[in-house]
Structure 1
Amino acid sequence: MPPARPEDAAAILQALISPAGRLDPFPLYAAAHRIGPVLTVTDSVFLVVGYAAVNQVLRNPGFGLPDTTPSRSAPAVDRTAGAALRMMERSILRANPPNHGRMRSLISQVFTPRRVAALQPSVEAAVDTLLDRLAEPAADDGMVDFMDQFAFQLPVTVICELLGIPARDRHKFRPLASALTAALELAGDADGPADAAARDLGRYFTPLISERRTAPGDDLVSALVAARDADDGRLSDEELLANLILLLVAGFETTTDLLGNGLAILLDRPDLATALRPGSATTAGFIEEVLRYESPVQVTTRVALIDGLTAEDVPVPDGSDVILVLGAANRDPGRYHRPDCFDATRSDIKPLSFGAGPHICIGNSLARLEASVAFPRLLSRFPDLSADPGRQPTRRDRLVLRGYQTLPVRVRP
């Protein structure tokens, strides 16, 4: 296949960040796949859409995150990053080696698979409580916004319990997280609301850290504070704060979208809901296919940190920006048969929705746990759950984080 002309790649990228592209990027992904797995936008900007190519870049340590330290002089470096991006750069989300490995090893010691698995009874209890609340509107007209009343409430309850954040404070975080994550958009404005949200979250966690330092509890904040105070040099105060904010925001943003995207598919395909109830299509398979078909995270970025790198045999010079389209990789026709069809019976599904390699999302198992508990209980409790015929769902105006703002449903116990 001939290499993509720069004007083709540039046109696809421009269309992706447009309002129409953000609303429905999948036709653009298909167009990109027809050109090739790696599209050259300019001599130093590459759009990577092929599954194998995205997976390769994610796992190659030569590709890292944008580095704004004074020691690096690549032309693309932004030394005027706002508070939101500066905060993220002090966390494992956007750190490069050796800082990334230093911080992640410590966080992994306290955010363990055993700790996540032990949360299952709490997740089940939270789901049942929220389902009871969903049933309350049935006494009136039965209409409820699933995103507001369940998809946000469940993951924020779980992550806040894990962190040790009081229930009275949890309502604050949805607007703050929404504002903060706008800084991750390709054409997003990192200033204004995103920076204000970063400062507000910093002001919330700073006294909480001090409180847990003097009166520790059985929670993740206390565990990370204790690890920080062990004084082994693996976590600074700024990094502790940044990573706690990241764990909170990432702990419910992607899971909220996973729950909403999954339910929207079920509302559109009642046969899937019927199949899930008796177990003829496994819950795990359904969740993996949701992650592939409607990935909560559609795009991530990398920078070539050294020379001599390639993506699917395409040379990527040092300092180049690499846009990894996870949503397109998950619909690569070279990887999946009929990639634009939802098929919960697929085998060998390995979606790249949570990344891969050293930066794979540390909370991906928690997101899967919450979804695996939520969907069967939701379908069992409300077998006649349906879309609200009087109101249309609304999408968030995002490309990077794909999900619903509202998802009105009719609830009949």
Structure 2
Amino acid sequence: MSTTSTVRSPLEIMAELLSFDGKQNPYPLYEQMRAHGPVVDVQGAHFFVTGYRECSWALREPELLASTDDAVQDRRLPGWRDHSSWVWLTKNMLFSNNPRHERLRRFFGNAFSAQRVLALADMIDRLSDDVVDHLAREGADGRTVDLVEHFSYRFAISVIGELIGVPSEDQPGMRHGIGAITIALDPITDMSMLDPGDVAMDRFAEYFYGLVARLRANPGTDMTSGWIKALDNGGDITEEELVANLMLLVVAATEAPQDLLSNTIRLAIEHPEFHDRIKTDPDFTAGFIEESFRFDPAVQALNRVATRDFDFFGHPVAAGTPLTLLIAAANRDPRRYDNPASFVPTRTENQPLTLSGGSHYCLGAALARMSVQAVLPKLITRFPDLTIAGAPTFRNQIVQRGHATLLITLK
């Protein structure tokens, strides 16, 4: 797909972005949207934002609400209360606005502080060794193996699973449900699109209520046991909110790291000239990972809603108007990055917006970076001749970008 000489309308571009083919390679379409400017006004009814500075400001502006809490959903998605996927999503901190967001983030946030994440280094190192060994067994004798199932998903779910007390034997069976729930984050054109997520969310709710009951009776060293103790000692949270946020953690801390890891490994396979430095130079590896977050991010777009009338970089925005922040386009804004369409792991001052910003900045950002930095060099060192088997494809989703499968051979 390539850009055209004729500037198409924003709605035409967005329609193609929502098609399966558009989702396979959205970047030329983002450039077509950028041709309309860093802020694209669709007759005052909707705004698409492609600029880095503009998206960065919007992510940090408290009067632009996350467009996913219950009050906003009542206006934008009638009938959502009949779907348990969204009923549960609006109870977690990521999909809430203040004051609930601040209260929930304060309760859960300390568990993911930079100091506490550093203390997890030994656990991450052990799980990295385990997943590399597993991949070696699955891909022995030159067999084709799915990197997503047997490496990226397995590693991501093992990290968050161990942290929140999900037994290892329960983790593989969660993959289908996690994927079904993330479909609810895409633009909904037919409410039946929520049905798979509803089923998955109901099952997860039952599972996590049961997990809370078991850990209350027999607490461990996991985070959930600590949160249960705080809840029972008068913590500012309900058991329903605890369950909702456990579901958030198992979904968000599996799907996004899975996609970040798969995309990063694909880029590493495509750029063998960097393998020696990935294996031996931690600073270079950190830069390589940060550039992969910028170049092909797992999170492509975020939505906000204006709480009041305001001027947005010269565009009058009325209260209640939605803004779609095209994060992946902002990460390639030529005003912010030189040669933005090229993969350059030695970039300086690389600050992709992939993990959001402001009060909604990803709680697990430090953990995600540490995890990829731990496992990528081990993978490249153990399997220097990794090869992709066939053309990679991406899931039929626009908000969350990642491979459903990524077939490889280890050689």
TM-score category of the 2 structures, normalised to the smaller one:
over 0.9
| 2:263 paired residue among 261, 264, 284 | 261
2:118 matched to which residue of 1?
117
The Cα shift of 1:379 comes to 0.9
1:411 matched to which residue of 2?
410
Asked whether the 8 Å contact 1:91–1:239 carries over to 2, the reply is yes
1:312 matched to which residue of 2?
313
Matches within 5 A, 1:18-33: 18-33=19-34
2:228 matched to which residue of 1?
225
Deviates more, 1:57-66 or 1:277-286: 277-286
| 2:209 paired residue among 206, 210, 234 | 206
Deviates more, 1:355-364 or 1:10-19: 10-19
1:38-97 C-alpha deviation (Å, 9 max, x unpaired): 111242211111101111111000001236656x89853635342111211111111011
Partner Cα distance (1:182, 1:138) in 2: 30
Partner Cα distance (1:107, 1:42) in 2: 40
Asked whether the 8 Å contact 1:56–1:311 carries over to 2, the reply is no
Amino acid at match of 1:271: E
Matches within 5 A, 1:180-195: 180-187=181-188, 189=191, 190-195=193-198
Partner Cα distance (2:257, 2:85) in 1: 21
2:239 matched to which residue of 1?
237
Matches within 5 A, 1:22-61: 22-61=23-62
Kindly tell me: are residues 267 and 361 of structure 1, through their superposed partners in 2, closer, same or farther at Cα, counting changes over 3 Å? same
Deviates more, 1:287-296 or 1:377-386: 377-386
2:102 matched to which residue of 1?
101
Kindly tell me: are residues 69 and 33 of structure 1, through their superposed partners in 2, closer, same or farther at Cα, counting changes over 3 Å? closer
Matches within 5 A, 1:12-411: 12-66=13-67, 75-76=75-76, 78=78, 80-81=80-81, 82-137=83-138, 139-187=140-188, 189=191, 190-232=193-235, 234-279=236-281, 282-307=284-309, 309-388=310-389, 391-411=390-410
Partner Cα distance (2:69, 2:153) in 1: 33
Amino acid at match of 1:213: R
- Secondary structure of 2:197's counterpart equals helix
Amino acid at match of 2:32: A
Asked whether the 8 Å contact 2:74–2:80 carries over to 1, the reply is no
Kindly tell me: are residues 275 and 175 of structure 1, through their superposed partners in 2, closer, same or farther at Cα, counting changes over 3 Å? same
Amino acid at match of 1:212: L
Partner Cα distance (1:398, 1:371) in 2: 23
| 4+ long deviations beyond 6 Å | none
Asked whether the 8 Å contact 2:386–2:409 carries over to 1, the reply is yes
Kindly tell me: are residues 65 and 410 of structure 1, through their superposed partners in 2, closer, same or farther at Cα, counting changes over 3 Å? same
Partner Cα distance (2:142, 2:109) in 1: 46
Asked whether the 8 Å contact 1:298–1:327 carries over to 2, the reply is yes
- TM-score, normalized by length of structure 1? 0.92
Asked whether the 8 Å contact 2:69–2:95 carries over to 1, the reply is no
5+ long unaligned stretches in structure 2: 1-6
Asked whether the 8 Å contact 1:76–1:319 carries over to 2, the reply is no
1:3 matched to which residue of 2?
none
The Cα shift of 1:298 comes to 0.4
The Cα shift of 1:364 comes to 1.0
Deviates more, 1:51-60 or 1:143-152: 143-152
Partner Cα distance (1:342, 1:10) in 2: 29
Identical aligned residues as a percent: 33
- The RMSD of aligned alpha carbons is 2.0
Partner Cα distance (2:168, 2:139) in 1: 26
Amino acid at match of 2:151: F
The Cα shift of 1:132 comes to 1.7
The Cα shift of 1:109 comes to 2.6
The Cα shift of 1:334 comes to 0.9
Kindly tell me: are residues 195 and 336 of structure 1, through their superposed partners in 2, closer, same or farther at Cα, counting changes over 3 Å? same
Deviates more, 1:186-195 or 1:49-58: 186-195
Partner Cα distance (1:298, 1:138) in 2: 31
1:7-48 C-alpha deviation (Å, 9 max, x unpaired): 722222222111121111100111122220111124221111
Deviates more, 1:20-29 or 1:275-284: 275-284
Partner Cα distance (1:135, 1:80) in 2: 44
Amino acid at match of 1:349: N
Kindly tell me: are residues 337 and 392 of structure 1, through their superposed partners in 2, closer, same or farther at Cα, counting changes over 3 Å? same
The Cα shift of 1:352 comes to 0.4
Partner Cα distance (2:140, 2:62) in 1: 56
1:288-314 C-alpha deviation (Å, 9 max, x unpaired): 00000010100111111222x233232
1:322-379 C-alpha deviation (Å, 9 max, x unpaired): 1111111101111111111000000000000010000011111111111001111111
Partner Cα distance (2:112, 2:44) in 1: 40
- TM-score, normalized by length of structure 2? 0.93
Asked whether the 8 Å contact 1:292–1:330 carries over to 2, the reply is yes
5+ long unaligned stretches in structure 1: 1-5
Partner Cα distance (2:239, 2:311) in 1: 37
Partner Cα distance (1:398, 1:86) in 2: 21
